[in-house]
Copies of this chain bind each other. A is one copy, B any other.
Amino acid sequence: MQSSGDSAGVEPIPVEPACAHDRSERGCAACKVRLVSVCAALTSEELAGLEALSQPVHLDPRQALFQQEDRAGAVYNVTEGALRLSRLLPDGRRQVMGFAMVGDFLGLALPERFTVTAEALSPTTLCRFEKRAFAGLVARTPHLLQRLYERAGHELTLAQDHMMLLGRRTAEEKVASFLLGLRTRYAGIGRDSITVELPMGRQDMADHLGLTIETVSRMLTRLDREKALLIVPGGVRLLDLARLERIAAS
Protein backbone atom coordinates (compact mmCIF):
# COMPACT_ATOMS: atom_id res chain seq x y z
CA MET A 1 0.00 0.00 0.00
CA GLN A 2 2.65 2.47 0.94
CA SER A 3 6.18 3.16 2.31
CA SER A 4 9.68 2.32 1.12
CA GLY A 5 13.28 2.02 2.34
CA ASP A 6 15.88 0.08 4.24
CA SER A 7 15.44 -0.65 7.88
CA ALA A 8 18.37 -0.18 10.21
CA GLY A 9 18.64 -3.52 11.90
CA VAL A 10 15.81 -5.63 10.65
CA GLU A 11 16.07 -5.69 6.93
CA PRO A 12 17.80 -8.74 5.49
CA ILE A 13 20.88 -8.00 3.42
CA PRO A 14 20.40 -8.48 -0.31
CA VAL A 15 22.90 -10.87 -1.74
CA GLU A 16 22.95 -10.49 -5.49
CA PRO A 17 23.06 -7.30 -7.58
CA ALA A 18 20.40 -8.15 -10.14
CA CYS A 19 16.65 -8.03 -10.57
CA ALA A 20 14.86 -10.63 -8.50
CA HIS A 21 12.14 -10.93 -11.10
CA ASP A 22 13.03 -14.27 -12.52
CA ARG A 23 16.53 -12.86 -12.96
CA SER A 24 18.13 -16.24 -13.42
CA GLU A 25 16.90 -16.04 -17.00
CA ARG A 26 16.70 -12.64 -18.68
CA GLY A 27 16.48 -10.23 -15.77
CA CYS A 28 13.72 -7.61 -15.53
CA ALA A 29 12.66 -8.05 -19.15
CA ALA A 30 11.54 -11.58 -18.34
CA CYS A 31 10.07 -10.67 -14.96
CA LYS A 32 6.69 -12.24 -14.59
CA VAL A 33 5.27 -9.37 -12.57
CA ARG A 34 6.58 -6.62 -14.81
CA LEU A 35 3.32 -5.99 -16.60
CA VAL A 36 1.34 -5.66 -13.40
CA SER A 37 3.94 -3.51 -11.65
CA VAL A 38 5.21 0.03 -12.06
CA CYS A 39 7.92 -1.45 -14.29
CA ALA A 40 5.30 -1.63 -17.03
CA ALA A 41 5.91 2.10 -17.53
CA LEU A 42 9.44 1.55 -18.72
CA THR A 43 10.99 1.14 -22.15
CA SER A 44 13.55 -1.62 -22.59
CA GLU A 45 16.49 0.74 -22.11
CA GLU A 46 14.99 2.11 -18.93
CA LEU A 47 14.34 -1.41 -17.81
CA ALA A 48 18.03 -2.09 -18.18
CA GLY A 49 18.76 0.95 -16.02
CA LEU A 50 16.34 -0.29 -13.44
CA GLU A 51 17.79 -3.74 -13.46
CA ALA A 52 21.25 -2.36 -12.75
CA LEU A 53 20.07 -1.01 -9.44
CA SER A 54 17.77 -3.81 -8.36
CA GLN A 55 18.59 -6.45 -5.78
CA PRO A 56 16.60 -9.53 -4.87
CA VAL A 57 15.38 -9.95 -1.30
CA HIS A 58 13.90 -13.03 0.22
CA LEU A 59 11.80 -13.21 3.36
CA ASP A 60 10.60 -16.16 5.38
CA PRO A 61 7.11 -16.11 6.85
CA ARG A 62 6.81 -13.72 9.83
CA GLN A 63 10.04 -11.97 8.89
CA ALA A 64 9.84 -8.17 8.78
CA LEU A 65 11.01 -6.23 5.74
CA PHE A 66 10.93 -2.95 7.60
CA GLN A 67 9.35 -1.40 10.66
CA GLN A 68 7.16 1.63 11.14
CA GLU A 69 9.43 4.66 11.79
CA ASP A 70 12.48 3.03 10.19
CA ARG A 71 14.41 5.37 7.95
CA ALA A 72 13.32 4.52 4.42
CA GLY A 73 16.34 3.79 2.24
CA ALA A 74 14.80 1.67 -0.45
CA VAL A 75 11.63 0.85 -2.34
CA TYR A 76 10.40 -2.63 -3.23
CA ASN A 77 8.37 -4.51 -5.74
CA VAL A 78 6.78 -7.78 -4.65
CA THR A 79 7.52 -10.63 -7.03
CA GLU A 80 6.34 -13.57 -4.96
CA GLY A 81 4.36 -14.10 -1.78
CA ALA A 82 2.46 -11.57 0.33
CA LEU A 83 3.07 -9.08 3.12
CA ARG A 84 1.04 -7.49 5.87
CA LEU A 85 1.27 -3.71 6.21
CA SER A 86 0.32 -2.59 9.69
CA ARG A 87 0.54 0.18 12.22
CA LEU A 88 0.62 -0.04 15.96
CA LEU A 89 -0.87 2.31 18.54
CA PRO A 90 1.28 2.92 21.64
CA ASP A 91 -1.00 0.66 23.68
CA GLY A 92 -0.73 -2.22 21.24
CA ARG A 93 -3.90 -1.86 19.24
CA ARG A 94 -3.13 -2.68 15.65
CA GLN A 95 -4.55 -1.62 12.33
CA VAL A 96 -3.60 -3.59 9.25
CA MET A 97 -3.55 -0.99 6.48
CA GLY A 98 -3.45 -3.57 3.75
CA PHE A 99 -1.77 -6.58 2.24
CA ALA A 100 0.91 -6.32 -0.44
CA MET A 101 0.66 -8.97 -3.10
CA VAL A 102 2.56 -9.90 -6.23
CA GLY A 103 3.14 -6.80 -8.36
CA ASP A 104 2.57 -4.38 -5.52
CA PHE A 105 4.97 -1.58 -4.85
CA LEU A 106 6.20 -0.68 -1.36
CA GLY A 107 7.40 2.84 -0.74
CA LEU A 108 5.19 4.45 -3.31
CA ALA A 109 5.17 7.74 -1.45
CA LEU A 110 8.98 7.80 -1.17
CA PRO A 111 8.68 8.81 2.49
CA GLU A 112 11.52 9.80 4.79
CA ARG A 113 10.46 7.11 7.21
CA PHE A 114 8.14 4.19 6.79
CA THR A 115 4.64 4.76 8.08
CA VAL A 116 3.88 1.07 8.38
CA THR A 117 5.54 -2.18 9.32
CA ALA A 118 5.82 -4.74 6.52
CA GLU A 119 5.98 -8.43 7.42
CA ALA A 120 5.95 -11.47 5.18
CA LEU A 121 2.92 -13.74 5.46
CA SER A 122 4.41 -16.50 3.36
CA PRO A 123 7.78 -17.08 1.71
CA THR A 124 8.23 -13.84 -0.17
CA THR A 125 10.63 -12.40 -2.69
CA LEU A 126 10.96 -8.76 -3.61
CA CYS A 127 12.94 -6.56 -5.92
CA ARG A 128 14.79 -3.98 -3.87
CA PHE A 129 15.74 -0.57 -5.27
CA GLU A 130 18.03 1.68 -3.31
CA LYS A 131 15.96 4.81 -2.83
CA ARG A 132 18.51 7.38 -3.90
CA ALA A 133 19.20 5.54 -7.14
CA PHE A 134 15.52 4.94 -7.74
CA ALA A 135 14.72 8.61 -7.17
CA GLY A 136 17.40 9.43 -9.75
CA LEU A 137 15.81 7.13 -12.31
CA VAL A 138 12.39 8.63 -11.57
CA ALA A 139 13.77 12.13 -12.11
CA ARG A 140 15.18 11.05 -15.48
CA THR A 141 12.04 9.19 -16.50
CA PRO A 142 8.94 11.41 -16.50
CA HIS A 143 6.54 8.67 -17.52
CA LEU A 144 7.76 6.51 -14.66
CA LEU A 145 6.89 9.37 -12.34
CA GLN A 146 3.58 9.65 -14.13
CA ARG A 147 3.00 5.98 -13.57
CA LEU A 148 3.88 6.20 -9.89
CA TYR A 149 1.57 9.16 -9.56
CA GLU A 150 -1.30 7.25 -11.12
CA ARG A 151 -0.58 4.37 -8.83
CA ALA A 152 -0.66 6.68 -5.82
CA GLY A 153 -4.01 8.03 -6.98
CA HIS A 154 -5.31 4.50 -7.23
CA GLU A 155 -4.09 3.72 -3.72
CA LEU A 156 -5.90 6.81 -2.51
CA THR A 157 -9.13 5.54 -4.00
CA LEU A 158 -8.63 2.16 -2.34
CA ALA A 159 -7.96 3.91 0.94
CA GLN A 160 -11.28 5.72 0.59
CA ASP A 161 -13.08 2.47 -0.07
CA HIS A 162 -11.57 1.11 3.08
CA MET A 163 -12.53 4.15 5.13
CA MET A 164 -16.10 3.65 4.02
CA LEU A 165 -15.85 0.02 5.08
CA LEU A 166 -14.34 0.79 8.48
CA GLY A 167 -16.64 3.66 9.28
CA ARG A 168 -20.00 2.58 7.99
CA ARG A 169 -20.28 -1.14 7.38
CA THR A 170 -21.41 -3.97 9.60
CA ALA A 171 -19.23 -6.94 10.49
CA GLU A 172 -20.87 -9.21 7.93
CA GLU A 173 -20.54 -6.60 5.19
CA LYS A 174 -16.90 -6.08 6.09
CA VAL A 175 -16.04 -9.74 5.77
CA ALA A 176 -17.98 -10.28 2.54
CA SER A 177 -16.53 -7.13 1.05
CA PHE A 178 -13.00 -8.13 2.02
CA LEU A 179 -13.28 -11.54 0.41
CA LEU A 180 -14.72 -10.17 -2.81
CA GLY A 181 -12.02 -7.53 -2.92
CA LEU A 182 -9.33 -10.15 -2.52
CA ARG A 183 -10.86 -12.19 -5.30
CA THR A 184 -10.77 -9.16 -7.59
CA ARG A 185 -7.13 -8.54 -6.75
CA TYR A 186 -6.19 -12.12 -7.48
CA ALA A 187 -8.04 -11.86 -10.78
CA GLY A 188 -5.87 -8.84 -11.61
CA ILE A 189 -2.74 -10.94 -11.31
CA GLY A 190 -4.11 -13.77 -13.35
CA ARG A 191 -5.51 -15.93 -10.58
CA ASP A 192 -9.19 -15.64 -11.33
CA SER A 193 -10.83 -18.34 -9.30
CA ILE A 194 -13.79 -18.95 -7.06
CA THR A 195 -11.33 -20.23 -4.47
CA VAL A 196 -9.61 -17.41 -2.63
CA GLU A 197 -6.40 -18.12 -0.79
CA LEU A 198 -6.05 -16.38 2.55
CA PRO A 199 -2.35 -16.07 3.32
CA MET A 200 -3.20 -13.99 6.41
CA GLY A 201 -4.62 -15.28 9.65
CA ARG A 202 -7.95 -14.41 11.26
CA GLN A 203 -6.29 -11.88 13.54
CA ASP A 204 -4.84 -10.09 10.53
CA MET A 205 -8.24 -9.97 8.88
CA ALA A 206 -9.76 -8.67 12.10
CA ASP A 207 -7.14 -5.95 12.44
CA HIS A 208 -7.71 -5.00 8.83
CA LEU A 209 -11.49 -4.80 9.16
CA GLY A 210 -11.68 -3.13 12.55
CA LEU A 211 -13.13 -6.22 14.23
CA THR A 212 -12.04 -8.87 16.71
CA ILE A 213 -10.83 -12.30 15.72
CA GLU A 214 -13.94 -13.87 17.20
CA THR A 215 -16.28 -11.73 15.15
CA VAL A 216 -14.40 -12.53 11.93
CA SER A 217 -14.59 -16.21 12.77
CA ARG A 218 -18.30 -16.01 13.54
CA MET A 219 -19.09 -14.18 10.31
CA LEU A 220 -17.15 -16.73 8.27
CA THR A 221 -18.91 -19.63 9.96
CA ARG A 222 -22.24 -17.92 9.40
CA LEU A 223 -21.58 -17.38 5.70
CA ASP A 224 -20.37 -20.98 5.49
CA ARG A 225 -23.46 -22.32 7.27
CA GLU A 226 -25.65 -20.28 4.92
CA LYS A 227 -23.74 -21.78 1.96
CA ALA A 228 -22.55 -18.41 0.67
CA LEU A 229 -19.02 -19.75 0.96
CA LEU A 230 -17.05 -22.77 2.04
CA ILE A 231 -14.16 -22.56 4.48
CA VAL A 232 -11.28 -24.62 3.12
CA PRO A 233 -7.75 -25.06 4.48
CA GLY A 234 -5.79 -21.89 3.75
CA GLY A 235 -8.70 -20.01 2.24
CA VAL A 236 -12.35 -19.88 1.26
CA ARG A 237 -14.35 -20.97 -1.73
CA LEU A 238 -16.91 -18.36 -2.73
CA LEU A 239 -19.98 -20.41 -3.59
CA ASP A 240 -22.61 -17.70 -3.97
CA LEU A 241 -21.01 -14.59 -5.43
CA ALA A 242 -24.35 -12.89 -6.05
CA ARG A 243 -25.30 -13.27 -2.43
CA LEU A 244 -21.92 -12.10 -1.18
CA GLU A 245 -22.15 -9.08 -3.44
CA ARG A 246 -25.60 -8.33 -2.13
CA ILE A 247 -24.27 -8.50 1.42
CA ALA A 248 -21.21 -6.36 0.64
CA ALA A 249 -23.63 -3.83 -0.87
CA SER A 250 -21.12 -1.52 -2.49
Residues of A within 8 A of B (CB): 1-2, 87, 89-91, 93-95, 97, 108-111, 115-116, 139, 142, 145-146, 148-150, 152-157, 159-160, 162-164, 166-169, 207-210, 249-250
Contact = CB atoms under 8 A, between A and B. Distances in A.
A163 B168 contact: no
A167 B91 contact: no
A142 B143 CA distance: 10
B109 A154 contact: yes
A87 B162 CA distance: 12
A145 B156 contact: no
A153 B114 CA distance: 12
A156 B210 contact: no
A153 B108 contact: yes
A199 B115 CA distance: 30
Contacts of A208: 167
B109 A152 contact: yes
Given A110-B153, A145-B146, A97 B210 contact: no
B209 A160 contact: no
A34 to B, nearest CB: 22
A178 to B, nearest CB: 13
Given A166-B167, A167-B95, A210-B167, A2 B148 contact: no
Contacts of A162: 163
Nearest to A164: B95
A227 B2 CA distance: 39
B110 A163 contact: no
Contact of A152 (B97, B156, B207): B156
A90 B91 CA distance: 36
A159 B153 CA distance: 12
Nearest to A155: B156
Contacts of A97: 160, 163
Contacts of A250: 89-90
A157 B87 contact: no
B111 A168 contact: no
A108 B156 contact: yes
Contacts of A108: 153, 156
Contacts of A166: 163, 166-167, 210
B249 A157 contact: no
